[in-house]
Amino acid sequence: MTAELTLSWRLGDGPTAAEHELAAWPHPVTREWAWGDGRGTGARVCILDSGVEEGHPRVGPVQGAYAVREGPDGELTVVEDTEGDVCGHGTACASIIRSLAPDCEIFSVRVLGLGYFGSGEALLAGLRWALAQNFDVINMSLSTTKPEVARELYHLADVAYFRRNVIVASAHNIPIESFPWRFASVISVGSHRGSDPELLVHNPAPPVEFFARGDQVPVGWLNGGHMVCSGNSFATPHVSGMCARILGAHRGLTPYQVKTLLHLIAANVTEGT
Amino acid sequence: MEGQDLARLLDQTGAGQAHQLLLQSIAETTRSVCDAQACSIQRLDTASREFVFEAVAGQGHPTLVGRRYPSDRGIAGWTLLSRQSVVVDDVSTEPSFAQDVAESTGYVPQSIVAFPLIKDDMPVGVMEVLDADLDGRRGIRSLEFIAPFAGQATIAMQLVERDRTLGTAVAEDSELHELLALTSEFSTLSSRKRETALRLLGLVRELMT
């Protein structure tokens, strides 16, 4: 399967997912309805990062572990991986997602580790592969500043949007122009200063669209260990976990619908009179 | 401008030292205003895939300057690869990580703030602040407070890198080295001798065209 789109140009072409269309949402939409039982059962979440430590007490089973590797001719391919996590960050993200959606399926694609000058291409290769696997949620607690990578990333983010693969991406803490979080097709995440892992805040002045817990977050780290970390990298998997809850409870929603639900359940969005 | 001043300006070694001092000054200032135990600015050596300590203030100064370690390790490696800044608020819960930091810095902190230094889309290094005490500002708030210093470090690091590249080019190119020496000596001449030298240079230029 490729990461390209099969477009329906006319209604007669028939969008195959029409059967999953949700006819009506309750009014008002509540977190309880949006999240269902809050376990994320059946949702497939992919973490593009440094790898994930399989069997970590805060992560549990990893349904699939892969890594971007450079072949002898310089071509990048995604292969099964047994190395786990090379620095701990991917495990930290996985532990946060697992804490919010304990029954979701977690997949890891290591895109970091090929060095600094192949990192953009590795990111693209990993994302292309992830799109081909049709994951429900793709967590990207990373970004690139390379314009030539950003162009292709923009295209892939659009592909994900139309294929119903939700990309959740970290915004920068400091004013650096980077991607993919700046694209409207993804869900961009920054940090609020609260300690509630379920507290979501909508930003009426994007490009950062949502704020989640990214301050002094207890996370899993290497060798079964744990640490307390801060940064938008750790706010992002909170939103990925929320997306897994939503998609576990309501299969087949589009990224547009998931984003709308996140907006409706945000703490600072209240019902009008 | 006096001839000696011009000569000093043209002296790449002098410029390099000034920029290195600027980098050290940024590390000192950051450590001081953050009331931190240490601040380091590390350059990414892309050829050897290593981080090199360029400036260190507080713990580890001055023995760490020049020390190298693999660039794919620890929080510094991750922050630059992912291009995301990060705070590790409590290192003590993770012995292997603490040991990793200790090996590279000689000091085991409780907290680390790490910033990627990126200029014109190129990764140039990492800035780390260890055990900052910012009147209760922790986590995200410490990131926001320290971020402008990381911006300064990025610019200074770029100047140091430019000096180094230029210095290497001059050292390896004998013609360039000779031209730079001539320019430097010219700037120290008296005004009368300088006029004569300029006339001679004018003749050389005519011969070249």
Task: Please indicate, yes or no, if residue A5 is contained in any of the structural domains.
Answer: no
CA closest to A223 among chain B residues: B96
Tens-place pLDDT, residues B7-30:
555 555 566 688 889 999 999 999
Fold of the domain spanning B21-162? Beta-Lactamase (3.30.450)
Q: Which residues from chain A sit within 8 angstroms of residue B48, using beta carbons?
A: none
* pLDDT tier at A10, thresholds 50, 70, 90: low
Judge contact between A266 and A210, C-beta under 8 A: yes
Question: Using CB atoms, which residue from B75, B83, B95 is nearest to A145?
Answer: B83
Residue from A56, A81, A89, A143 carrying the catalytic annotation: A89
Buried b (16+ CB within 10 A) or exposed e, A147-179: eebbebbbebbebbbebbbbbbbbbbbbebebb
Q: Which residues from chain A sit within 8 angstroms of residue B142, using beta carbons?
A: 230
Number of other residues whose CB lies within 10 A of the CB of residue B124: 22
What was the pLDDT predicted at A116? 64
Does A233 participate in catalysis according to the annotation? Answer: yes
Mean pLDDT for A126-133 is 97
What was the pLDDT predicted at A273? 47
User: Quick check: A173 and B85 CB within 8 A?
Assistant: yes
Instruction: Judge residue A194's burial from the number of C-beta atoms within 10 Å of its C-beta, 0-12 exposed, 13-18 middle, 19 or more buried.
Output: middle
Question: Using CB atoms, which residue from B73, B77, B94 is nearest to A225?
Answer: B94
Does A202 participate in catalysis according to the annotation? Answer: no
Judge contact between B113 and B31, C-beta under 8 A: no
Question: Using CB atoms, which residue from A113, A116, A231 is nearest to B87?
Answer: A231
To probe the interface with B, which of A172, A176, A181, A193 has the most B CB atoms within 10 Å?
Answer: A176
Name the pTM for this structure.
Answer: 0.86
Cα-Cα end-to-end distance for chain A: 48
Task: Please indicate, yes or no, if residue A161 is contained in any of the structural domains.
Answer: yes
Question: Using CB atoms, which residue from A87, A143, A227 is nearest to B91?
Answer: A227
* pLDDT tier at A109, thresholds 50, 70, 90: very high
Task: Please indicate, yes or no, if residue A30 is contained in any of the structural domains.
Answer: no
Percent of chain A with pLDDT over 70: 88
User: Quick check: A86 and B72 CB within 8 A?
Assistant: yes
The residue with greater pLDDT, B170 or A213, is: A213
User: Quick check: B140 and A215 CB within 8 A?
Assistant: yes
User: Quick check: A222 and B150 CB within 8 A?
Assistant: no
Percent of chain A with pLDDT over 90: 73
Tens-place pLDDT, residues A225-265:
999 999 999 999 999 999 999 999 999 999 999 999 999 99
Task: Please indicate, yes or no, if residue A273 is contained in any of the structural domains.
Answer: no
Instruction: Output the domain CATH number for residue A65.
Output: 3.40.50.200
Shortest Cα distance from B154 to chain A (angstroms)? 12
Shortest Cα distance from B86 to chain A (angstroms)? 5
What was the pLDDT predicted at A257? 96
Does A49 participate in catalysis according to the annotation? Answer: yes
Distance CA A260, CA A253 (A): 10
Distance CA A249, CA A173 (A): 32
CA closest to B45 among chain A residues: A116
Q: Is the ipTM, as predicted for this complex, more than 0.85? A: no
Going by their DSSP bridges, the two strands B112-119 and B122-130 should be labelled as antiparallel
Q: At A209, list the tokens.
A: 């669209």
Instruction: Report the number of distinct structural domains present in chain A.
Output: 1
Domain range spanning residue A81? Answer: 43-265
Q: Which residues from chain B sit within 8 angstroms of residue A143, using beta carbons?
A: 82-84
To probe the interface with A, which of B45, B80, B86, B137 has the most A CB atoms within 10 Å?
Answer: B86
The residue with greater pLDDT, A4 or B184, is: B184
Task: Please indicate, yes or no, if residue A33 is contained in any of the structural domains.
Answer: no
User: Quick check: A87 and B121 CB within 8 A?
Assistant: no
Please name the amino acid found at residue A28: P
Could you give phi then psi for residue B40, rounded to 5 degrees? -130, 145
Percent of chain B with pLDDT over 70: 88
| Residues 133 through 172 of chain A touching chain B, CB cutoff 8 Å | 141-147, 170, 172
Among A13-17, B16-20, B201-205, the range with the most confident prediction by mean pLDDT is B201-205
Q: Which residues from chain B sit within 8 angstroms of residue A213, using beta carbons?
A: none
CA closest to B70 among chain A residues: A115
CA closest to B91 among chain A residues: A227
